[in-house]
């Protein structure tokens, strides 16, 4: 039968049917890889699979990373568990692409809804290539060849003691990535800075770096380049970290929201 993709906006994202994540055939994986490049975010619903199957499915797309800070599931280190409760009100509500503080950040993430609040907790995605194309030409020319420094210290680093942070900084030194990256498969250019992990843009004053980071984030925040996912339990969303940015709405407390991610290792951005 093959998979079917129903676009959800004029820019990015598709609801995909015809997928059985428990029994992924080679053909299905090939179709999903193509759909992932075409739509950048895929929503696959009603997949009642085990954690082991989630991990095995992720491995069909590449090596899975073990997150050094989000270590919620000791039994399955490849799973990033993001659980928000009334007592622990955490949500990934800053615009970002996953783990850009790594030298070789993620190519893609596959996130599962485990416990979903009755309303709220949606995830919004922005097409970072469409956002780049909408920048004024003068800004594009200014940022096209610049590099930005990404590091974990302002986010995950805040939860560490000064000694542990210093140790982790040796293991994960700041990463230097292009402000505008080129997708290795599609050749599209897209905005690759975010306020969560970027400390500054190199080669410009601190003031201009701040201004540019704001301009680039505002481009990402434009509704015309966005789509929004309403979660259900056992909904899976696949996104291409080389092409989109995302953020989760923190509008659901005191309800619980629990999602689990596998993250596919990527390449050094260029």
Catalytic residue ranges:
96, 98, 246, 261
Q: In the complex with ligand SIN, which residue's Cβ is closer, 209 or 241? A: 241
- DSSP per-residue letters across 8-22: SSSSS-EEEES--TT
Q: Are 266 and 182 in contact (CB under 8 A)?
A: no
Q: In the complex with ligand SIN, which residue's Cβ is closer, 113 or 269? A: 113
What's the DSSP call for residue 7?
Answer: E
Q: Are 93 and 247 in contact (CB under 8 A)?
A: yes
Q: Tell me how far, at minimum, the Cβ of 183 lies from ligand SIN, in Å.
A: 19
Q: Tell me how far, at minimum, the Cβ of 13 lies from ligand SIN, in Å.
A: 14
- DSSP per-residue letters across 69-128: S----TT-TT-EEEEE-SSS-----S-B-TTTTSSS-EEEEEEEEEE--SS---EEEEEH
Structure tokens at 170: 């040796």
What 3-state DSSP class applies to 170? helix
Q: In the complex with ligand SIN, which residue's Cβ is closer, 80 or 175? A: 80
Which residues contact residue 145 at a Cβ distance below 8 angstroms, ignoring those fewer than 6 apart?
178
Q: Tell me how far, at minimum, the Cβ of 132 lies from ligand SIN, in Å.
A: 21
Nearest to 150 by CA among 81, 98, 102: 102
Q: In the complex with ligand SIN, which residue's Cβ is closer, 82 or 180? A: 82
Q: In the complex with ligand SIN, which residue's Cβ is closer, 5 or 111? A: 111
Q: Tell me how far, at minimum, the Cβ of 97 lies from ligand SIN, in Å.
A: 9
For residue 213, the tally of other CB atoms under 10 A from its CB is 19
Site of interaction with ligand SIN (CB under 6 A): 82, 92, 98, 109, 111, 123, 246, 248, 259, 261
**Tokens 């950048």 -> residue:** 40
The rounded distance, in Å, linking the Cα atoms of 266 and 184 is 10
Q: Tell me how far, at minimum, the Cβ of 235 lies from ligand SIN, in Å.
A: 11
């Amino acid at each position: 039968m093959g998979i079917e993709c129903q676009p959800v906006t004029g820019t990015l994202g598709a609801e995909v049917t015809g997928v059985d994540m428990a029994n992924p055939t080679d053909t299905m994986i090939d179709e999903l890889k193509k759909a992932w490049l075409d739509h950048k975010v895929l929503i696959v619903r009603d997949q009642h699979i085990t954690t082991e199957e989630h991990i095995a499915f992720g491995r069909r797309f590449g090596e899975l990373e073990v997150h050094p800070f989000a270590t919620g599931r000791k039994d399955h280190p490849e799973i990033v568990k993001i659980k928000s409760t009334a007592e622990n009100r955490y949500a990934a509500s800053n615009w970002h692409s996953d783990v850009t503080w790594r030298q070789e950040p993620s190519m893609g993430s596959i996130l599962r809804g485990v416990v979903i609040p009755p309303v709220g907790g949606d995830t919004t995605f922005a097409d970072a290539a469409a956002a780049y194309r909408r920048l004024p030409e003068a800004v594009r020319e200014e940022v096209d060849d610049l590099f930005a420094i990404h590091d974990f210290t302002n986010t995950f680093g805040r939860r560490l003691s000064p000694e542990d942070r210093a140790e982790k900084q040796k293991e994960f030194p700041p990463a230097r990535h292009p402000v505008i990256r080129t997708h290795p498969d599609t050749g599209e250019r897209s905005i690759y800075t975010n306020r969560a992990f970027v400390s500054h843009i190199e080669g410009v004053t601190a003031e201009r770096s701040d201004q540019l980071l704001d301009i680039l984030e505002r481009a990402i925040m434009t509704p015309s380049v966005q789509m929004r996912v309403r979660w259900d339990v056992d909904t899976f969303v696949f996104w291409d970290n080389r092409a989109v940015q995302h953020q989760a709405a923190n509008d659901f407390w005191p309800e619980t929201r629990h999602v689990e991610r596998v993250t596919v290792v990527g390449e050094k951005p260029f």
